[in-house]
């Protein structure tokens, strides 16, 4: 299938805006659908005038229909990306994360477009088995994880029922420039960087022994590009590095790198958070050709420079 026009839902967000830039660099015509509840026009400042932007909800049939018209690939990133909020407001978050995914799938099916779904490592839950492989039985422990798993199930079902080319990308802990450090949905690296640069204490929820597989945003973008080019039929793929870092060490290194005298403190664990996470990226390497390229030290240095210069 020759792809000339694509849709990115949530394209004004952290990951979405980086993906939009890359798609334009690939010579594609790009439309963004975003309700700007968490996305920002600032994230699209570098591509202003080069991308079509539709301000609307993923739950609005007319908005998603208009945005998808003529697209041959739909990248579905629009979501409420928050484990804590999914615990606090499960019905509201489910409406966006589950019904919103179904709406995007329907629009994609009508246009005969490929579908690339942004899922999450949250589908694995807190199983002690490491590394996480796609063959493991998902065991989500938060409504957010359950919602992403439901989205994956719909992706598989649409691929099987309608012959759609589709796949799900299970992001591990994504970080990088443009991740809003003031947002309650922001990742831990970005929050630590903001606090450290301001000379504030760094707060760890729990004892700090938790481990995470941190993946830089440009690696996530590359996974999406490769998924667009590959032939897929509903599969799920891990998108991570295959390595993990413990949160206590991470906080200490960021505090030292920022050099503002921040102290690491601890607070009570949050409901729904998992203890350990590390992926096996071999399926994505085999079927998509994906391998992460940005190590944690380089990624933190790039992100730190972004926040220092901004």
Q: Which of 124, 144, 175, 216 is catalytic?
A: 144
The token pair at 302 is 């790039």
The whole-angstrom distance between residue 128's C-alpha and the CA centroid of its chain comes to: 23
What gap in Å lies between CA 54 and CA 80, rounded to an integer? 18
* DSSP 8-state assignment for residue 170: E
4, 72 contact by CB (below 8 A): yes
Closest CA to 202 of 250, 251, 247: 251
Burial 283-309 (b: 16+ CB within 10 A, else e): bbeebbebebebebeebbebbbeebee
Q: Are strands 245-246 and 211-212 parallel, antiparallel or unpaired?
A: antiparallel
Residues 6+ apart with CB under 8 A from 96: 58, 59, 78, 79, 80
What gap in Å lies between CA 20 and CA 24, rounded to an integer? 6
Look up tokens 């065991």; give the residue.
Answer: 139
Angle at 15 between CA 42 and CA 201, to 5 degrees: 80
The token pair at 132 is 């996480």
144 in catalytic set: yes
Neighbours of 16 (CB within 10 A): 27
Phi, psi angles (nearest 5°) of residue 156: -65, -40
The token pair at 223 is 């996974």
Catalytically active residues, by annotation: 144
């Amino acid at each position: 299938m020759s792809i000339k026009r694509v849709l990115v839902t949530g394209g004004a967000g952290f990951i979405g805006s980086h993906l939009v830039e890359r798609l334009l660099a690939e010579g594609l015509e790009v439309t963004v659908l975003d309700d700007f509840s968490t996305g920002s026009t600032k994230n699209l400042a570098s591509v202003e005038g080069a991308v079509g932007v539709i301000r609307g909800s993923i739950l609005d049939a007319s908005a998603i229909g208009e945005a998808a018209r003529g697209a041959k690939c739909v990248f579905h990133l629009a979501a409420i990306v928050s484990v804590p909020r999914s615990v606090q407001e499960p019905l509201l978050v489910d409406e966006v994360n589950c019904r919103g995914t179904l709406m995007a799938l329907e629009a994609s099916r009508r246009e005969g477009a490929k579908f690339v779904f942004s899922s999450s490592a949250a589908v694995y839950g807190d199983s002690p088995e490491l590394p996480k492989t796609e063959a493991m039985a998902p065991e989500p422990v938060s409504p957010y994880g359950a919602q992403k798993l439901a989205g994956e199930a719909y992706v598989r079902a649409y691929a099987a029922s309608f012959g759609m080319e589709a796949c799900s990308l299970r992001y591990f802990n994504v970080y990088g420039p443009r991740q809003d450090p003031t947002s309650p949905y922001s990742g831990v690296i970005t929050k630590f960087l903001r606090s450290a640069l301001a000379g504030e204490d760094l707060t760890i929820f729990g004892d700090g022994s938790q481990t995470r597989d941190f993946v830089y945003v440009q690696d996530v973008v590359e996974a999406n590009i490769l998924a667009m080019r590959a032939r897929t039929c509903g599969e799920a793929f891990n998108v991570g590095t295959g390595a993990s870092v413990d949160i206590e060490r991470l906080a200490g290194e960021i505090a030292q790198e920022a050099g503002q005298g921040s102290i690491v403190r601890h607070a009570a664990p949050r409901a729904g958070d998992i203890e350990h996470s590390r992926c096996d990226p071999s399926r994505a390497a085999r079927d998509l050709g994906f391998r992460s390229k940005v190590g944690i030290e380089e990624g933190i240095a790039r992100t730190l420079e972004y926040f220092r210069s901004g």
